[in-house]
Amino acid sequence: MGSLQIGERILIHRRKKGITQEELAGHLGVSKPAVSKWESGHSYPDILLLPVLAAYFDITIDELVGYEPQMTKEEIRVLYHKLAKAFTEEPFDQVLARCDDYLKKYYSCWQLQVQFGLLLLNHVSLSGSSEKSTEVITKALEIFKRVEKNSDDVHLAKMSVQLQALCYISLQEPVIAIDLLETGNEPQMQPEPLLIKAYQMKGDMDKAKEYLQGYVFVSLMNILGSVPDFLKVYSSDNEKLELYYSIFTKLCHLFDIENLHPAILMQIELEASIVFARREDKDKALDTLERSIEHMCSFSQSKGKIMIKGNDIFDTLERYLEDIDVDTAAPRTSVAIWHDLKNLIRESPAFAILQEEKRYKNILTKLEKINNK
């Protein structure tokens, strides 16, 4: 993580030059104790001395200061999860202020800026009020706009456009989101199919299998991620609703998604329970809601990992995710997820018809117990 290292740099370059503290002090017109304090980190040189020091050591001021306004992906990842945990344990505004400090300190670290925008969106539900939520979403929106405008990373810029659309949807501005997404929306070719063929030609079947499994898994996750929207869009068409729900749940069973990504199963069953409740089908609503909680328990037991372990179908998947540098930890802590899940199940108007059902009350009790573990 970047920080000022000027004292250490002065010490290193002074020794490299083969001079004493007293000789350096004489060149700069300061006292020997002043140089000693710089090197020990007890004080910093006057800003007007920085060009003189840099010229004396034949280095740039940036090299002298030792400050690099960037963070590595791993540093960003660790910091993200640290602050995600803080959002569930400390006052929201206090953690938000810490985020602002990092955003200012690493103003041009675009990877960090994007991840912090996501951090805010993923924890906005903990802000405490609709007004504060709007403020936080707007802050994230401004971050994504700035990244799109200034970053030279094409992937980050395109990602930022999509995240802006997500912000506008959250702000109840669907028309702006549509304009953003449909303008210049060009189909992109995925490299995996070509890599799979290239590795086969090379004779490296292990690598071909790794990419093949990874490509299928990511495609499958994209399909399953769309299931809640399928259920919403076809909620008024009972025949299609039953058809799609049956197809997708069978697909999950075939690929053993419960052991790979229980959180996505939780989302599917939770949306199904809302749709069935709105259709006043109490039994199916309760069945799917109970399954949603079961899948959430599995996710909780995985200690926040999106993927618990591979299986017979995806036995090289973990290696693939490591190779492409995917973070398998959830973007929110289990505490934050349980907080939103509990509020949704308790407060959703769709579940009003279940309020007096014993099974529904048992679900709330179970949810409360797991949340407090």
Closest listed residue to residue 140, CA positions, set 106, 174, 165: 165
Q: What residue type is 348 in one-letter code?
A: S
pLDDT at 343: 84
Considering the four listed CATH numbers 1.25.40, 2.40.10, 3.30.70, 1.10.3470, the one that applies to the domain covering 73-182 is 1.25.40
- The strand ranges marked E within the chain are none
Which tops the pLDDT comparison, 329 or 360?
360
The tokens describing 266, both together, are 């939780």
- Report CA Rg, the chain: 27
Please, which residues have CB within 8 angstroms of residue 180's CB and are 6 or more apart in sequence?
161, 164, 165, 168
Mean pLDDT of 91-111: 93
pLDDT at 183: 78
In three-state form (DSSP H/G/I as H, E/B as E, the rest C), the secondary structure along 276-296 is HHHCCCHHHHHHHHHHHHHHH
pLDDT at 92: 95
Digit-coded pLDDT (tens) for 184-205: 666 667 788 999 999 999 999 9
Q: Is the pLDDT of residue 303 over 60?
A: no
pLDDT at 294: 86
Domain spans of the chain, in order of start? 6-65, 73-182, 192-371
pTM for the predicted model, two decimal places: 0.72
Lowest mean pLDDT among 238-252, 319-333, 351-365: 319-333
Burial of 320 (0-12, 13-18, 19+ CB in 10 A): buried
pLDDT at 369: 75
Q: Are 296 and 241 in contact, with CB atoms under 8 Å apart?
A: no
Mean pLDDT of 109-128: 93
Mean pLDDT of 27-39: 92
Q: Is the pLDDT of residue 254 over 80?
A: yes
The tokens describing 55, both together, are 């010229």
Mean pLDDT, the chain, as a whole number?
Answer: 87
Mean pLDDT of 91-109: 93
- Could you give the percent of the chain with pLDDT greater than 90? 58
Mean pLDDT of 53-59: 89
Q: How far is it, in rounded angstroms, from Cα 220 to Cα 214?
A: 10
Q: Is the pLDDT of residue 350 over 60?
A: yes
Q: Is 206 helix (H, G, I), strand (E, B) or coil?
A: helix
C-alpha distance from residue 304 to each of 119, 262, 299, 307 (Å): 15, 10, 6, 9
Digit-coded pLDDT (tens) for 1-10: 445 678 888 9
pLDDT at 344: 86
Length of the chain (residues): 373
Q: Is the pLDDT of residue 18 over 80?
A: yes
Domain covering 6-65 assigned CATH 1.10.260.40 in the classification: yes
Burial of 229 (0-12, 13-18, 19+ CB in 10 A): exposed
Q: Read off φ and ψ for residue 329, nearest 5 degrees.
A: -80, 145
Q: Is 295 helix (H, G, I), strand (E, B) or coil?
A: helix
